[in-house]
Amino acid sequence: MFSQLCLSFILSLQIIVLPISQALAAVPPQKTLEERLKARAQRAPATKFTSLIFDLPLTYNKKVSFWISYFQSKGKNWFRDWLERSSKYMPFIQKELKNAGLPQDLAFMVMIESGFLPTAVSHANAVGPWQFMQATGERYGLKVNSWLDERRDLKKSTLAAIRYIQDLYQEFGSWYLVAASYNMGENGLRRQIVKRQTRDFWTLSQSGALPQETMDYVPKILAVMMIAKSPALYGFRDLAQFEPLDYDIVSVPGGTDLANLATKLGVTTKSLKDLNAELTLGYIPSRIESHTIRVPKGSINLVAQYLEGHKK
């Protein structure tokens, strides 16, 4: 009799165990980000709250909160630099993401990857704003050789990143997993998904399946999204604003030196090199017949004069 009662009790427990999807759906949702920001705005009445739009799914938890606090404290100077540089590069990146039908907030990956520095190089030798490894960059059409590294080309690397992200989303079907696989590599993530039998980023993270850098990567993206869309609420005021990238395209022959050309154009060598960060030597080797470069808007006639005076 007792064993029958125990069996009945166990069966009753099995009946109330929900599938994970239903169990998650039954959990009351956390306050939305806008509710949190409105509450903060009420505590800081001098700052006007404006409605925010996010096109990536938002999660607010201890890990995200940690990185928000970090960027407000120890990482504040870095983050201010990132925010200020973003005004120069973000419009172009978001436009290309939108044209590709991807969430524009994926542009914040660049903030975490490189701080919007086209010449950034990681400890693993990933290069450029999107921090491509050479093999991955070449897989998506980016040239790397002795004088040219298209991983540092904002336009070409962004278009390559878009194709890569599209492939990742087609496989993983989750923007958090897209970001995780971008950081750790799709092969490693694929193995962990099969091993742990879950496609939930947070479950994978809590189980220890992911490298620490990847466990931090998604929370960092969410943290920078939240801060960057309302910086004053997080203590970032009086930010410098740069003009969005705007330039002309011109073909120049091999042997063209950016420093000499900059003198003719009346701009600094640094500014011209920044526009053409993919030219790792600062010039086009004479063995190259011609190459397309970017020059300040409205300076094509000056470039023509320079080339006329430097004909071989």
**Which domains does the chain show, CATH number per domain?**
57-234 (1.10.530.10), 248-309 (3.10.350)
**pLDDT at site 26:** 34
**Structure tokens that stand for 243 in this block:** 């003009």
**pLDDT at site 308:** 87
What's the predicted TM-score (pTM) here?
0.82
Strand partners, 295: 248
**pLDDT at site 10:** 34
**pLDDT at site 310:** 75
Residues acting as catalytic residues = 113
Q: How far apart are CA 52 and CA 72, in angstroms?
A: 20
In degrees, rounded to 5, the angle at the alpha carbon of residue 295 between the alpha carbons of residues 289 and 300 is: 85
Residue 58: C-alpha distances to residues 88, 175, 187, 198 (Å) = 25, 11, 26, 19
Per-residue pLDDT of the chain (312 residues), as tens digits, is 444 444 443 334 343 333 433 332 333 333 444 444 444 434 433 323 234 688 999 999 999 999 999 999 999 999 999 999 999 999 999 999 999 999 999 999 999 999 999 999 999 999 999 999 999 999 999 999 999 999 999 999 999 999 999 999 999 999 999 999 999 999 999 999 999 999 999 999 999 999 999 999 999 999 999 999 999 999 999 999 999 999 999 999 999 999 999 999 999 999 999 999 999 999 999 999 999 999 999 999 999 999 988 776
**pLDDT at site 312:** 61
Amino acid at 20: I
Contact 178, 109 (CB under 8 A): no
| Element of type H or E holding 250 | strand 247-253
Q: How far apart are CA 58 and CA 226, in angstroms?
A: 9
How many residues does this entry show for the chain?
A: 312
Q: Kindly tell me the burial class for residue 237, based on how many C-beta atoms sit within 10 Å of its own C-beta (0-12, 13-18, 19 or more).
A: exposed
